[in-house]
Amino acid sequence: MKRILLLIVCLCSMGVILKAQNVVSGKVTDSAGEPLIGANILAEGTSIGAVTDFDGLYEIEIPEGATVLIFSYTGFESVKEPIDDRSTIDVSLTEGQLLDEVVVTALGISREKKSLGYAVQEVGAEELTQAQPTDALSALSGKVSGVQLRQSSNIGGSNRIVIRGASSFLGENQPLIVLDGLPIDNSNFNTKATQGGNGGVDYGNMLNDLNVDDIESISVLKGTGAALYGSRAANGVIVITTKKGNIGREQFGVNFSSSVGFEDAYMMPDLQRKYGGGAIISDADGGQDGFEVVNIEGQDYKVVQYGIDESWGPRYNPNISVLHWDAFSKESYPEQYLRPRPWVAPENDVDAFFNTGVTYTNSLAIDRSSQDYGVRFSYSNTSGTGTIPGSALHKNNFSLNGDAKLFENLKAEAYLNYIKSTTKGRPVLGYPASGQRYGNTFGQTLFQWTQRQLDYKRMAEYKNLDGTQRSWNRNAWDDATPHYSDSHYWIAHENYGDDERDRVLGNFGLHYTILDGLVLSGRVSADSYSFYSRERVAYGSQAESSYFESIRNNLEYNLETTLNFDRQLSDNISLSAMAGGNQFRLRYHYNDGATSGGLVVPNLYNLLNSSGTIIAEDLSRVKKINSVFGSVGVGIGNMLYVDLTARNDWSSTLPADHNSYFYPSVSTSFVFSELMSPGSWLSYGKIRLGWAQIGKDTDPYNVNPVYSFSSYLVSNPLSGPFQGATRVYVPIKLLNQDLKPETTTTWEAGVELSAFDDRLGLDVTFFNNTTTDQILPLELSKATGYDSKFINAGEIENQGVELSLSAGVVRSNDFNWNVNINFTKVNNEVVEIAEGIDAIDIGTAPFSGVTLRASVGQPYGQLWGYDFLYDDNGNRIVGDNGYWLRTQNLVPMGTVTPDYNIGLGSNFNYKGVRLNVLFDIQKGGKFYSVSHMWGHYAGTWAPTAGGNDKGNEIRAGVEEGGGIKLDGVTADVTFNDDGTYTVSNVQPNEKYVSGQGWAARHYHGFGMPSAQSLFDADYIKLRELSLGYTFDFSERNVGVSRITLTAYGRNIWTGGLAWDGLDPEMTVNGSGNIQGIEGGFLPTSRTFGLKLNLGI
């Protein structure tokens, strides 16, 4: 490896140009003294220029007659410096210059922001990486308006991002990701159970593959701005531009960074520490002090009800000693055999199970540029462990990016990125579907079904000498077979999964300048990956031993040609035009295999080791989209701009009669500040208006029937083997050859203002998106031979406001303080679905009856469940038995869509010191917690061991002054046929019920008031905090030009929660549409770390 890097350095060093005679050199920095990379230096009145390198250094050969140098940088005020007889000119630029800001738009075209008639926000490399994010999506949290983003705490887990609200009932709602003009795959390979609303494994987003240190900027295109990308961009576009060497500057640079981050699980529910596990055995039933008494080897011992995975056992008492779960391994652990220990709360509680995850990231980048070429090579290595014991992630990323001037009018560019990643021990979350291959999950056994006396340090000894399991949840004292639950450490070290992914991203393009301002371009790009995963259930687990493996191979590529024209026709009129075509092709292949009936040879994980018939599935998909597109833009007097775009796609997944769909867009902007006199307090003002219509196709094989092979498929019970032979079957969905594309119509209006010498900036957008003709599966009678039919139906509307506010609170030579606020509010409504259909189920919460639906007249993602009954004053109604009453039918309880999101960022610069703070705030929305439900039912959560209004414990007998009196009133309730009810004879409730009866009655899923475990999804998160200092050695000959040392933290603190310990972000269904359901979570984690950056 060292030889390869040395060779690259040597190759990049070749051809260094000697310094010319008439040359000016220097350094360009910001007001805090930080070097500005890529700042432009131009000799006024000429076309001769230069660009600063990694250290902000430049040199420029001065042409004859030039007397002034112009220094400029995006987002900063330009500076003119007279050359005189100086050979060294150092310049410090001040933030501002919003008027001429350039951003990356559709098809990778850079344009002045003032000319755009739609909203676009760009986040630069420095802002993205200030807290060392693990992936590109999480780096956007709180930094862009109009974006709703949910993060994950799972190792390599997925993030969900939605722009301007959900537009599809059941289809994809996440935006298209474009990397250097290359549309790339951002799929999430959650297990099928997770996608269906149950538990499973979250394998993360494909975008996690990218090295964040390679990213130059991320632009978010919303609505109108995304139209040129076609049907794949119906949900918006995230345009990622990577760092590269640039033609036209003499530069050689080396940049090295190294970081270490420490992750800990910090947010957990408050668990009770008064009572242990099992159940209380009365004296009448032969118990003593609440324990069963057994005779072992001639001596009586008190033993726990090990087979009960709940915590309704005796109260802790240090004077009582019992045989704990680990007192029966005579051969393996003789020192513990039949040794009673006190009945007390554990010294090492649940938090002791989690490790401190440690992640090391090292990156090297080498940049070489000249007048004729630019090249950048980078290598990044990430190696880390998660908070779950045994979990680990390793990733290697190689990237080569460059361009070259082949001839005077011909330029070539190329990009190649190879990523190899492996992960071990991704946690299984929630409740997998019945019959699936997983054993117990951490979310179930840590915070729901457990015994509270368990000491996790002792549980780490989870195996006997013969390799068999030592589970705390043994059937009985003399039967070590796991009853319900495996040991947590057995799950982590024996029932683990692993996966590996190989991915190649690349593109190659040629640009030929036919005439000044007329460029013909051609590009070919590809995204190819192979993803291999394995899952195990070891022999001796509570579940049957099994092995599963799957492999996905995906190749998608684009062929694209464009002809671009961009000219200033006169002093007051500019014209830009573009025409092009694109062909997109996708080839996807998936197959998997699983054992059945257990493993013949224990712990030999091979499909051929299956006791029964191997269960297999094989799936292939092919898709093609042909496209033509074009745009025309006119600018008048640097003040009025009008853009027209059009695109037509032909999709192979739609019927021949309906596979062509056309979508236009029009936008305009008016820079009214051009009419104002110089020196006005308002330095920049613009209004804009845009409208677009975008089509959207469907998945392959929803039009014509195709035969499939499978020895088993959950969705088709008839697909199993017949007399040992694999069946060939047709889909059980009735296909529709009259399908049309979905259509999204969007309009937006906005204003951009900059005042007080660009110290204050405001960008406000009002938008409306309406999606019609959605492609939906309509349920059919089973008598038809099908379960559903695809139809065009349904309409959903999103409208809202986005606001971005920036303020330069303090600006001086030594100190700068900037504040940025991003605000997003989205109101959506399901306008209609189909004739006779008022709701579509999106997903369900396990064991609860709570259903996530798209319901007509309500916001998308409405949670339906059983609510309490209320009197006219809003009091809950209690029945004669002392328990709350509930509605007869499921009722809407709230939407998962938040009322609004706010990102509040602030950065301080003092000389070489930088401090950055970012808060992420969410208000509104709902989520349902299965952990809260079962945690109460099982007696593990703190409220189940609380006190009542008499000052007594609720677990004490009602006749002893214990129990609980539920808040509410008694009343006579009369139900109507439609489920509504009337209330009369309202009286205060005075009845007490037992604590365990209350928990069992109201936290038992089906038939109980679901609202008891429904919470507001509010939060305030300290998302990022970083403090850094840069040592500048550019004036010294020490071999290093600068060293930056940064301390950082991510997801440091969370407040404003409806229930402490329940994070609304910690759902179990990954990045799909099933949100707002917590089914068995892992604790929210936070990261603290250090990063060192060297510039050479």
Q: Is the pLDDT of residue 1061 over 80?
A: yes
In the listed set 63, 79, 94, which residue is the last one of a domain according to the structure? 94
Of 245, 569, 602, give the one whose Cα is nearest residue 415.
245
Q: Are residues 336 and 412 in the same domain?
A: no
Q: Alpha-carbon distance 117 to 444, whole Å?
A: 51
**Does residue 100 form part of some domain?**
no
Strands in 969-975's sheet, in edge-to-edge order, are: 877-878, 969-975, 981-988
Across 563-572, 810-819, 959-968, which has the greatest mean pLDDT? 959-968
Helix H segments across 852-1011? 930-937, 995-1002
What is residue 15's predicted lDDT score, i.e. its pLDDT?
Answer: 35
Structural domain count, the chain: 4
Question: Which region among 2-16, 478-492, 873-887 has the lowest average model confidence (pLDDT)?
Answer: 2-16
Confidence of residue 1085 (pLDDT cuts 50, 70, 90): very high
In the listed set 467, 492, 517, which residue is the last one of a domain according to the structure? 492
Q: Which whole-number Å values give the CA distances from 628 to 31, 183, 185, 560, 1060, in the listed order?
A: 47, 16, 22, 10, 53
**Does residue 941 form part of some domain?**
yes
Residue 1032 carries which side chain, given as an amino acid letter? D
> DSSP for 578-594?
EEEEEEEEEEEEEEEEE
Q: Are residues 636 and 782 in the same domain?
A: yes
Q: Are residues 997 and 1032 in the same domain?
A: no
Question: Which region among 106-120, 317-331, 1020-1034 has the lowest average model confidence (pLDDT)?
Answer: 106-120
- Beta-carbon contacts of 300 under 8 Å, excluding residues fewer than 6 positions away, are 293, 294
Q: Alpha-carbon distance 876 to 883, whole Å?
A: 10
What is residue 892's predicted lDDT score, i.e. its pLDDT?
Answer: 95
Q: Is the pLDDT of residue 170 over 70?
A: yes
Dihedrals phi, psi of 712, to nearest 5 degrees: -165, 135
pLDDT over 70 percentage in the chain: 92
Residue numbers of the domain that contains 480? 278-344+429-492
pLDDT digits (tens, 9 = 90+) for 633-668: 999 988 999 999 999 999 998 888 888 889 899 999
Q: Are residues 910 and 977 in the same domain?
A: no
pLDDT digits (tens, 9 = 90+) for 378-429: 999 999 999 999 999 999 999 999 999 999 899 999 999 999 999 999 988 8
What is residue 19's predicted lDDT score, i.e. its pLDDT?
Answer: 35
What is residue 10's predicted lDDT score, i.e. its pLDDT?
Answer: 39
What is residue 768's predicted lDDT score, i.e. its pLDDT?
Answer: 96
Q: Are residues 951 and 1065 in the same domain?
A: no
Question: Which region among 2-6, 96-100, 146-150, 781-785 has the lowest average model confidence (pLDDT)?
Answer: 2-6
**Does residue 868 form part of some domain?**
no
pLDDT digits (tens, 9 = 90+) for 199-243: 778 888 888 999 999 999 999 988 787 888 877 888 889 999 999
Cβ–Cβ under 8 Å, residues 166 and 861: yes
- Beta-carbon contacts of 47 under 8 Å, excluding residues fewer than 6 positions away, are none
**Does residue 186 form part of some domain?**
no
pLDDT digits (tens, 9 = 90+) for 299-325: 999 999 999 999 999 999 999 999 999
Dihedrals phi, psi of 614, to nearest 5 degrees: -65, 130
Q: Alpha-carbon distance 73 to 123, whole Å?
A: 15
Q: Are residues 833 and 909 in the same domain?
A: yes
Of 268, 271, 269, 267, give the one whose Cα is nearest residue 941.
271
**CATH number of the domain to which 26 belongs:** 2.60.40.1120
Mean pLDDT of 691-711: 77
Confidence of residue 51 (pLDDT cuts 50, 70, 90): confident
pLDDT digits (tens, 9 = 90+) for 10-21: 334 333 333 334
Confidence of residue 956 (pLDDT cuts 50, 70, 90): very high
What is residue 849's predicted lDDT score, i.e. its pLDDT?
Answer: 84
Q: Are residues 213 and 331 in the same domain?
A: no
**Does residue 604 form part of some domain?**
yes
Confidence of residue 99 (pLDDT cuts 50, 70, 90): very low
Cβ–Cβ under 8 Å, residues 701 and 734: no
Q: Is the pLDDT of residue 712 over 60?
A: no
Confidence of residue 1034 (pLDDT cuts 50, 70, 90): confident
Mean pLDDT of 584-588: 95
What is residue 102's predicted lDDT score, i.e. its pLDDT?
Answer: 66
What is residue 12's predicted lDDT score, i.e. its pLDDT?
Answer: 40
Mean pLDDT of 677-688: 86
Strands in 926-929's sheet, in edge-to-edge order, are: 1014-1016, 926-929, 1077-1078
pLDDT digits (tens, 9 = 90+) for 422-433: 999 998 888 876
Q: Are residues 754 and 797 in the same domain?
A: yes
Q: Alpha-carbon distance 9 to 254, whole Å?
A: 9
**Which of 198 and 276 is assigned the larger pLDDT?**
276
Q: Are residues 374 and 228 in the same domain?
A: yes
pLDDT digits (tens, 9 = 90+) for 519-562: 999 999 999 999 999 999 999 999 999 999 999 999 999 999 99
Half-sphere exposure of 194 (CA within 13 A, CB side): 24
**Which of 49 and 23 is assigned the larger pLDDT?**
23
pLDDT digits (tens, 9 = 90+) for 898-918: 999 999 999 999 988 999 999
What is residue 413's predicted lDDT score, i.e. its pLDDT?
Answer: 93
Burial 328-346 (b: 16+ CB within 10 A, else e): bbeebbeebbeeeeebbbb
Average pLDDT value over all residues in the chain: 88
> The tokens of 198 are what?
């149950």
**Does residue 148 form part of some domain?**
no
Q: Are residues 649 and 750 in the same domain?
A: yes
Q: Are residues 566 and 436 in the same domain?
A: no
**Does residue 720 form part of some domain?**
yes
Confidence of residue 724 (pLDDT cuts 50, 70, 90): low
Q: Are residues 733 and 809 in the same domain?
A: yes
**Does residue 110 form part of some domain?**
no
In the listed set 1016, 1048, 1074, which residue is the last one of a domain according to the structure? 1016
Q: Is 347 left (phi over 0), alpha (psi -120 to 50) or beta?
A: alpha
pTM above 0.85, yes or no: yes
Question: Which region among 454-468, 512-526, 778-792, 999-1013 has the lowest average model confidence (pLDDT)?
Answer: 778-792
